[in-house]
Amino acid sequence: MEEHDSQIALRPLSSRTTEPQNGPHNQDETREHSAHQMPPDFDLTHPPHDELPVYTRAPPGNQSLGRGHSTTLHRSTFVLLMTTYFSAMVIYSWVILAILSFRPVSTRSWGPHTDKYGDYPRKMPNYAMDGKLYQSARIIQSIASVLILPWTSAVCAYAAVIFVQKQKDGSSMTMRQVMNLADRRWMDGSLVRDLITGSWKQHGSAFLALAIFAHFLALVIYPIQSIVVNAKSIHVPTHLNSMGRISDLAYMRAKSDQTPGTDVIQTRNALAGVDKHTWRPQLWDDGGSQKFSTLFNLSAMNDPFFSPLTNGFNSGVFRQYAPRINSSTTVRSIQENEYPINCESDTANLFANYSSVRNVYPGARYSLTKSWTISACMLASNTTSPWKETRDRQEFSEMLYLNISVQDTESFMSDLLEIRLTTTAGYFELPSYLNNQTAGPLLDNDPTGACEEGGYGCVPQTESYYYYKRIRRQDGSSDNSTTTYNKTLPWAPMFISNKGPLLSTALAIFGPGSFLSTFFAEYITLTSAMFDDELSGDAIRTSSGSSEYVASDSCVTLYLASSITTLSRYVSASYDIMAKWLKDMFSDKEILTNTLDAAAFLASERQFEQLQSYYTIYQDLGSEMMVPDSSLAGVAVASFFLGLYILILFALSLYGSLYPRWTLRLDSFAMFRLGAAFGQDNSTVLVTRANCDVKLLDEIPGVVRDVGDVADDAIIPIGRVGLGEGKPLCAGRRYECYEGDNEPLTIAEKRKITGHY
């Protein structure tokens, strides 16, 4: 190439010259080139001076298309602007998904929340806006996932133009390296082969490495986001519903308004009407896995307990707590020295004794004696109310001693039993959407305080704030108060308010009016009336010695040895029924354990129902909606990759926008012009399958520079963009361009040409 011929120089002649210096021919040529170079808006007919300056142009012999047109280099901010829009889309979609993974945008929580006074909001938040934001974020995320690779490649091609022209010298890059950028080999898998073969220095460049890393980030960003963010269904609050009031454990120690003994009667009726197949809706188990439970296999259940709400009750979108009572029975045989002595001597004790002796074939040579006896004893230490005035977890044990013997013609049973009933009571968290709809465990502390102090996701359930505070001050302290009653009265434990479940059960089974104390009289009266109207229950109360009925306030003894033929049949049948019941009930400890657990459950159920209702249960099943779900660690990882990608993308866009450029992007047209500048002789179209063997590409410089030769007296120097050694391209200077890109002379340039400043 002849670099000295690649420059147009505009030079003014002397303003005082009136004759052409080179003859008529040259004058015409000068006028022709002058008119060709003048801008369209320059008025040749009205020059600013008396004489029109003469311009000369010395065109080279190998003038090519576009010579004579010039323009300055310009910056392009289009890609930076579009990158800003694209980044805003990417950031918006990710930020919305990240925020909605933990909380809504419209309010502070997906669940209900109370204010600092513990009040539940009357107006529920409207989550419609959050649903729309989520949908828009997913749509924009889908669009951005399709555009991210093409746009990253476009930004790299845009910034590569500046990288090629901003090298420190003309030999900093080879044509092969420039062609790799123009071919966008950052997206070409064949580049891996070149890297494996160790030819990175031949093919690669710092810009290519950065472009490859940017495309790697673009490739993994959305797969990472899809892994760390998943869609889940949640329920948001809609309306607060009061489901009614139940009793409160904090009132269990309060004095009952019922007539003494009413609770025993209710427990006894419950025992009389129960069966092992009926579903008990208030019977829960730990975890709430068994929804439909019966008393048949109570001892085999996983921590069964009583709660006044139906098993499986779901409070919905917020936390609610309910009382629970669990009783567990332990039965063991004891020695005689472990059995209480003279239990009947203290009327504060619970003592009952029932026995029956029957002579079979009285007076005969082979007469037999059948008998059964059962004694029950609860010491005075177990006949006071064990309940505490608290909502904290409380636990107490009750002890009952039994002495049982049954003798008949076939078998003999005798046993001393110690029955320990351990009761735990407190509060547990009801199933809700916040705990995967699973009943929580027994809590150690009163859970209602957090609600009254504005706890998250919890609605206050106690309305008597003053009473509640009084209870909390007493929590953890011992309560040694006892119910006042006259201990000298018969069956004194009947007058205790809020009995323990074992005491209620013992009084129901062994107390006055119980099955043991009324069975014989009722059975004989009923059966005898069916056959002999004259035979009544009074017949067994004769003093002839044939039968005897003795009753006291704390002990009932039956001796039946009737010689009356019609009565003997009924007495024998009643005896056999009772003996069988005693053997079936008390000979198998597993059956006895399950029976007493069931009895304690029924006793707690009846006792709890008689208390006044102060404790409110709320429910809000909410409305279902889809939201993103992610962990903090997942959001952090995805945010790191996204932030690094956005930083690199903005850096490339800004880098490509700060400097004036000789072409818009490094594309095929740019390479076409570089090939034309290199020369036709060296770029003959030859067949090639692998350009790695074309060594010429490693020898040709690939740096774009100003390779023009400017004359010293040029008024407006016009440079030429070319390859190799030269000057760096700079803003404000004119360079040869195609006709469509030609720029008219500026006012300053016009004044410079005319000599007027």
DSSP 200-224: HHHH--HHHHHHHHHHHHHHHHHHH
* Burial of 708 (C-beta count, 10 Å sphere; 0-12/13-18/19+): buried
Same domain, residue pair 195 and 291 = no
Tokens linked to 592? 């006895």
CB-based contacts of 199, cutoff 8 Å, min separation 6: 692
Q: Side-chain half-sphere of 243: how many Cα atoms within 13 Å?
A: 17
Report yes or no on 510 lying in a domain: yes
Distance CA 541, CA 599 (A): 33
In a domain, 692, yes or no: no
For residue 132, the model assigns a pLDDT of 93
Nearest residue to 663 (alpha-carbon basis) of 552, 568, 741, 602: 741
Residues near 562 by beta carbon (within 8 Å), at least 6 away in sequence: 540, 546, 547, 568, 571
> 329, 597 in Cβ contact below 8 A?
yes
pLDDT of residue 721: 80
This prediction has a pTM of 0.63
* Dihedral pair phi/psi, residue 48, rounded to 5°: -75, -10
Helix residue ranges, H only, 115-249: 128-165, 175-182, 190-196, 200-203, 206-228
The answer on 35 and 82 residing in a single domain is no
Tell me which residue range forms the domain holding 295: 245-619
Model pLDDT, residue 251: 78
Determine the pLDDT at residue 120: 63
CA angle in degrees (0–180, nearest 5) for 712-715-720: 75
For residues 709 and 449, give the distance between their C-alpha atoms in angstroms, rounded to a whole number: 89
Tell me, what DSSP letter sits at residue 610?
T
Q: What residues does 331 pair with on adjacent strands?
A: 419
Residues 717 and 640 in one domain: no
Point out the domain boundary residue: 569, 590, 619.
619
- 223 and 257 share a domain? no
The CA radius of gyration of the chain, in Å to the nearest whole number, is 52
Pairing of strands 718-719, 734-736: parallel
Give the model confidence (pLDDT) of 376-426 as tens digits. 999 888 777 888 888 999 999 999 999 998 887 667 788 899 999 999 999
Which token pair is 411? 């078998």
Residues 586 and 654 in one domain: no
Residue where one domain finishes, among candidates 561, 595, 619: 619
Q: Judge whether 674 lies within some domain.
A: no
DSSP helix/strand/coil, 361: coil
| Neighbouring residues of 520: CB distance < 8 A, sequence distance ≥ 6 | 356, 540, 549, 558, 560, 571, 574, 578
633 & 614 share domain: no
d(CA 731, CA 280) in angstroms, rounded, equals 90
Residue 138 lies in a domain: yes
Cβ of 215: how many Cβ atoms within 10 Å?
19
Residues 64 and 93 in one domain: no
CB neighbours of residue 407 within 10 Å: 17
Who's near 238: CB < 8 A, 6+ residues apart? Answer: 124, 620, 621, 622, 623
Return d(Cα 605, Cα 752) in angstroms, integer: 108
Residues 6 or more apart in contact with residue 703 via CB below 8 angstroms: 164, 165, 167, 169, 170, 171, 172, 173, 723, 724
Q: Indicate whether 433 belongs to any domain.
A: yes
605 and 648 fall within a common domain: no
Give the pLDDT of residue 425: 94
CA of 115: how far to CAs of 73, 107, 235, 465, in Å? Answer: 63, 13, 21, 16
- Per-residue pLDDT tens for 338-383? 999 888 888 888 898 888 877 665 555 555 677 888 999 998 887 7
Please list the ranges in the chain whose pLDDT falls under 70: 1-68, 113-123, 170, 189-190, 192-198, 253-258, 287-290, 359-368, 409-410, 450-458, 463-490, 521, 523-574, 676-699, 701, 710-713, 755-757
Residues 211 and 269 in one domain: no
Point out the domain boundary residue: 563, 590, 619: 619
Residue 506, pLDDT score: 92
Is 520 inside any structural domain? yes
Q: Does 117 fall in a domain?
A: no
Domain count, the chain: 3
Closest CA to 213 of 241, 187, 239: 187
If asked whether residues 166 and 28 sit together in one domain, one would say no
Residue with tokens 């469509």: 740
Report how far apart, in Å, the C-alpha atoms of 176 and of each of 163, 204, 652, 702 are. Answer: 15, 9, 22, 8
Q: Within this chain, do residues 494 and 390 fall inside the same structural domain, yes or no?
A: yes
- Residues 219, 305 within the same domain: no
- The answer to whether position 338 is within a domain reads yes
pLDDT at 48: 42
Contact (Cβ atoms closer than 8 angstroms) between residue 591 and residue 420: no
